[in-house]
Structure 1
Amino acid sequence: MHVLVVHNRYSSAQPSGENNVVDQETALLRAAGHRVELFERRSDDIAAMSLPGKAALPLLVPWNPAVRSELAARLRAERPDVVHVHNVFPRLSPSVLAACADTGVPVVATLHNYTQVCPPGTLQRDGRPCTECVGAALPLPAVRHGCYRDSRLATVPLAVSLAVNRRRWWTGVERFLCISAAQRDVLVRAGMPAERLAVKHNFVPDPEVRRSGAGEHLLYLGRLAEAKGVRLLMAAWDEITAGGGVGVPLVIAGAGPLEREVTAWAAGRDDVRCVGLYDPAQCRRAIARAVAVVAPSTWLEAFGLVVVEAMAAGVPAVAAGHGAFVELVEDGVAGLLHRPGESGSLASCLRRITARPARNQQMGQAARRRYERDFSPAVGLERLVEEYRTAIAGRSALARGGDTRANRGDGNST
């Protein structure tokens, strides 16, 4: 099969689970004998752009005609069987869908977040769940609240893109791949076409190392941001410390907007270690030495890659009991779920996960079995290729029937 992957790579200054998924899927497909090419833009390149180029960039977020022309020419020259779209913000834009419609190439799109119904894609505002824009024709609440980067100006291009391109997305993509059933449920309720929304969980490679003992620390591995529950974790850990601790330190690995706050909070403590950004090998080793991985997100995670990485290493997770975590972590079997947003509940779960080493090891073994059944590369490859074939068959059927739905409303402007 010949696949063209379309992706705007996130900045390399921050770890990106989405970039990792794209790279891992590409490598997996190639190893299985499929031909995979890339059509990419990189956010890292924005810094080197001229001032006029930077000024024009927000205007091109809803629609980039140069990208449409470039991609259409490439599709005509290479004739891939299917285009797999991941992220188009900020330098590609939904104009990639028009290029595919121009050339009759079927499109599969992985939905890594909630940008189809929420301009910043988080379904969160001020640290709390928010669905004000879900189902709205015009996502004006996001602009009013400055939901992207706390800026009304920065939110406008995303809101405009969502409003003017919603129909193009919903008619121009053969198969949307949701990374969890929880995410799919939200999108179906928002009005997206249920028949085109399939659940295909992310996979993770089998790690080089697995946990062999009881573990040495509790591990938070991810972006240091409000939505990830970092402040909640600090409050829970303070409560644990006041009660005498749990006998193992908390390791916090990552970077982000709360980095200074977290570093200051951890300074002078012997029960917390802030280690900064880890490279992939360091992440695998840290996970394999963990009593448990902690994922206390306050927003509705669409997946939760770190939880599955822990499963692969035979390590249980303590995660917030909402969003995708509910389907990833079987409470009391492969980990524990705490009440979302409640530091006391999180503290209680951290005490429980460390109190009984034998039970913890059983949970880790159950987590590994779940990984092998649902999140291994073999399972990921099978499901991915199946969705490609479904999209190709669907496009072929439309071509035979003369259906032009993907071109409806198509034009040279937004």
Structure 2
Amino acid sequence: MKILEVNKYYYLRGGSERYLFDITALLEQAGHEVVPFSMKNDRNRPTPFENDFLDEIDYRADRPLVQKLGEAARVIWNREAYRKTKAIVKRERPDIAHLHNIAHQLSGSVVAALHDMGVPMVQTMHDYKRICPAYTLFQGGKVCERCKKRRYWNPIVHKCLLGSRAASTVAALEATWYGMTGLHEKIDRLHAPSHFMRHKLMEWGIDGKTIEYVPYGLDLTRYRAARDDEDQGYFLYAGRLSREKGLRMALKAARHAPHARIVVAGEGPLRERLTREFADLGDRLRFDGYLDTPSLHDAIRGSRAVLLPSQWYENAPFAIYEAFALGKPVIGSDRGGVPEMVKPGDTGWIEPPDDVEAWARAMENVSEAAKQAAKRGRAGRQAMETIYTTEAHTKAMLNMFEKV
């Protein structure tokens, strides 16, 4: 089978790209041919298909107003994307297209071109863009579902995207255009990595028969499980320092958990604010910034548990997969897809996402429970070895591809 893998970025930018490269490797190992289609960027991974990619579009760059207006129009319809998609399909003749994140830079023009060329499509739902113009179902510090039933004026009113009314207006127009033209319905199957994602899409009116739940899998040969003697007793938060991720709430809880020490791996817009606001935690809080993969794995192995205090509807966070693969339990929020994987009494602890006292109790208790944490970490590793395997994931995805 020849598969066209489509994503707007072709370098390791986040979880979507991580999965893109993982599934590419798994499909190739299974004997299939993969053709990437993306956007040009100096950071891209080497590929002989680079010349087929779209020219880079950076909507955050500072450019003249006339140029920005032209780029805004391309969010809704991108002639270059349509033309180049048809060209690569005509030359490579893929059996199926596997879509990831295409909004804005690649746009729905890719979907239109694939449909016009008769290429069946499966899209992995990495986020909520299909139902939320701002991707996250999170606004003003709270989960938000105002756009249900296509009430797409709400992003404009609340400036949901980047805090910008202009950007939010473009996103709202894009969502309206997709609804009017039926572009979304041209995608044959949706891959939901969590039950929560599948149920949320169905709740918003998408036919459940077109949505299949398939959890991710990790290649465990790349992950050495932690030894008990590597536990240094701290909690690790690894991720973006942004409001929806909930780190501020966890740090508030740490003030009431005197034995809790927290190491933060990651960067984001809240870095300076959090550093100032929680200076009173002293040596119980350390910001390590961005860590490369080997350093991050070492940091996870050295932790007592990984924190996932998310305030938004997490889908199927790789932070849980990696923690389990490295033999560490997770303290996670009871929101989104998190409780599907993190099982209290088995692979971790689940707490209400906005309950500072509950998080404080959990962190204080786990700070004093090394043996219990190690046991739950081993259970997480076992789950990766028996449930979240690359073999099961590859088989399920290929079955989905063959159905369309």
Fold agreement, TM-score > 0.5: yes
Is 1:233 the counterpart of 2:231? The answer is no
TM-score of the aligned structures, taking structure 1 as reference length:
0.88
- Is the counterpart of residue 262 in structure 1 residue 274 in structure 2? yes
Map residues 12-23 of structure 1 onto 2, 5 A cutoff: 15-23=13-21
Distance 1:273 1:266, change over 3 A: farther
Relative to the length of structure 2, the TM-score reads 0.90
Shift of 1:374: 2.4
2:338 is matched with 325
Partner Cα separation in structure 2 for residue 72 and residue 169 of structure 1: 16
Unpaired runs of 5+ in structure 2? 43-55
- In structure 1, the residue matched to 2:363 is 350
Once the 2 structures are TM-superposed, how far is the Cα of residue 239 of structure 1 from its aligned partner? 1.7
The 3-state SS of whatever aligns with 1:75 is helix
Q: Distance in 2 between matches of 1:115 and 1:180?
A: 15
Whether 1:224 aligns to 2:241 is yes
**For residue 272 of structure 1, what is the aligned residue in structure 2?**
285
Partners of 2:111 and 2:247 lie apart in 1 by: 37
* Matching of residue 67 in structure 1 with residue 81 in structure 2: yes
Q: Identify the residue that residue 121 of structure 1 maps to in structure 2.
A: 135
Which residue of structure 1 aligns with residue 225 of structure 2? 210
> Which residue is equivalent to 1:135?
149
CA apart distance, 1:372: 1.6
Distance 2:184 2:208 in 1: 10
Q: Which moved more, 1:345-354 or 1:20-29?
A: 345-354
How big is the shift at 1:10?
A: 8.1
Structure 1 pair 299–43 and aligned structure 2 pair: CA distance change class (3 A):
farther
Shift in Å, 1:32: 2.0
Match of 2:394 in 1: 381
Counterpart code for 2:275: T
Aligned to 1:105: 119
Letter in 2 for 1:209: R
2:155 paired with 1:157 = no
Bigger shift: 52-61 or 68-77? 52-61
CA distance in 2, matches of 1:354, 1:10: 40
Report how far residue 365 of structure 1 moved: 1.3
Post-superposition shift, 1:328? Answer: 1.1
Secondary structure of the 2:8 match is strand
Structure 1 stretch displaced more, 100-109 or 355-364 = 355-364
Structure 1 position 204, deviation (Å): 2.5
How many residues were matched structurally? 383
- Are the counterparts in 1 of residues 224 and 325 from structure 2 also a CA contact under 8 Å? no
1:129 partner letter: V
Partners of 2:183 and 2:265 in 1: CA distance: 36
User: Is the contact between residue 306 and residue 329 of structure 2 (CA under 8 Å) also seen in structure 1?
Assistant: yes
Whole-angstrom CA distance in 2 between matches of 1:190 and 1:135: 7
Q: Matched residues in 2 for 1:10 and 1:77: separation? A: 21
Inter-partner Cα distance in structure 1 for 2:182 and 2:341:
32
- Give me the whole-angstrom Cα distance separating, in 1, the residues matched to 2:310 and 2:67: 36
Equivalent residue for 1:88?
Answer: 102
Return structure 1 stretches of 4+ with deviation > 6 angstroms. Answer: none
Residues 311-322 of structure 1: matches in 2 within 5 Å?
311-322=324-335
1:171-186 maps to which residues of 2 (within 5 A)?
A: 171-186=185-200
Deviation at 1:43, TM superposition (A): 7.3
Report which stretch shifted further, 206-215 or 220-229: 206-215
The residue correspondences of 1:40-51 to structure 2 (distance < 5 A) are: 40-41=38-39, 45-46=56-57, 51=64
1:362 maps to a residue whose letter is: K
> Residues 306 and 323 of structure 2 are in contact (CA less than 8 Å); yes or no, is this contact kept in structure 1?
yes
Distance (Å, rounded) in 2 between the aligned partners of 1:366 and 1:224: 28
Secondary structure of the corresponding residue to residue 284 of structure 1: helix
Can you list the C-alpha shifts for 1:29-82, whole angstroms capped at 9, x where unaligned? 112221101110157844589745444221111111221111112111211010
Letter in 1 for 2:212: A
CA deviation profile, 1:371-402 (whole Å, cap 9, x unmatched): 122222222211111111112xxxxxxxxxxx
Distance 1:144 1:114 in 2: 19
Q: Which moved more, 1:26-35 or 1:140-149?
A: 26-35
Where in structure 1 are there 5+ consecutive unaligned residues?
Answer: 392-414
- 2:372 pairs with 1:359: yes
Change (3 A) 1:237 1:309: same
- SS of aligned partner of 2:228: coil
2:386 aligned with 1:369, yes or no?
no
Instruction: Give me the whole-angstrom Cα distance separating, in 2, the residues matched to 1:330 and 1:260.
Output: 34
CA-CA distance at 1:340 after TM superposition: 1.4
1:145 maps to a residue whose letter is H
Q: 3-state SS of the aligned residue for 1:171?
A: helix
- Whether the aligned pair in 2 keeps the contact of 1:253 and 1:276 (CA below 8 Å) is yes
Relative to structure 2, which stretch is displaced further, 329-338 or 54-63? 54-63
Which of 202, 214, 238 is equivalent to 1:188? 202
Q: Is the 8 A contact 2:10 2:39 kept in 1?
A: no
